[in-house]
Amino acid sequence: MNYKSILVSMKQLLLLLLIVTLNNTVLGQGLTRHGQNSSVPERLLNSSGAIGKDNLVSKNGEKAASLVLYQNYQGGKIFYFLKPGDPGYEEGETHGLIAALNVVKETTNNNPVWSTNENLTTGTTAEGVGAGKNNTTTLIASDVNARAAILVSNYSVTSDGIVYDDWYLPSLEEALIFVSDYRKMYSANITFGIWTSTEISSSQANYIDTGSKTSGSFMKNRNFASTVPIRQF
């Protein structure tokens, strides 16, 4: 083999090494949407990609702790993770419901009524997980006297410099889930029960009894029930 042939072979080898290096450094290793390492660009998370709850990445690209129930998060405490069949559930992503750290009141010592209007049907009869947000929007648009829903929608909290102001009144099922273990989030008892956004009739709405942890009906214009803002993440 002459000198020129050796030189060409060396150049080819260097080029091959350069390609391999680029594949491992420029493209590099990254996380797929399922939290697995990969160097295949099509499998990596993009700038807006979601990640699974067991393989989180912080805003600085560092590994972060897994989300767990009842931890402080985005202005409140997580009380539910969405599961298959829930609206908004995405395989490989983490979404759920957050409860505010405190109930909201009409005044310092008084809970809000569901509504001062006893003869209006709003149609907010949906009960399932994910229904509370739309119920609340419809309720406020239909009834200017829907005090519990209005107070919740006006609730706002700032956490780590981010404002969270998308709270709503939980649906029947969302409220049942919250009440089932609410003492793991709240140090004090919630007396009597909490309002839901689920309507029964022109004069009654659903509430959840915090003692028996069951649903019941109550007059809209009574203010015995507490009001808990929740939000989705």
For 170-200, write each residue's pLDDT tens digit: 999 999 999 999 999 998 899 899 999 999 9
pLDDT category of residue 75 using cuts at 50, 70 and 90? very high
Q: Is residue 184, in this structure, part of any structural domain at all?
A: yes
pLDDT category of residue 87 using cuts at 50, 70 and 90? very high
Residue 142 has pLDDT above 60, yes or no: yes
How many domains is the chain built from? 2
Residues 104, 194: contact at Cβ < 8 Å? no
Residue 111 has pLDDT above 50, yes or no: yes
User: Is the same domain home to 31 and 114?
Assistant: no
Q: What is the pTM of this model?
A: 0.73
* Strands (E) located in the chain: 30-31, 37-38, 72-73, 76-81, 96-100, 157-159, 162-164, 193-199, 204-209, 214-219, 230-232
User: Is the same domain home to 20 and 76?
Assistant: no
Average pLDDT over residues 53-64: 52
Q: Is residue 65, in this structure, part of any structural domain at all?
A: no
User: Is the same domain home to 134 and 20?
Assistant: no
Average pLDDT over residues 45-54: 49
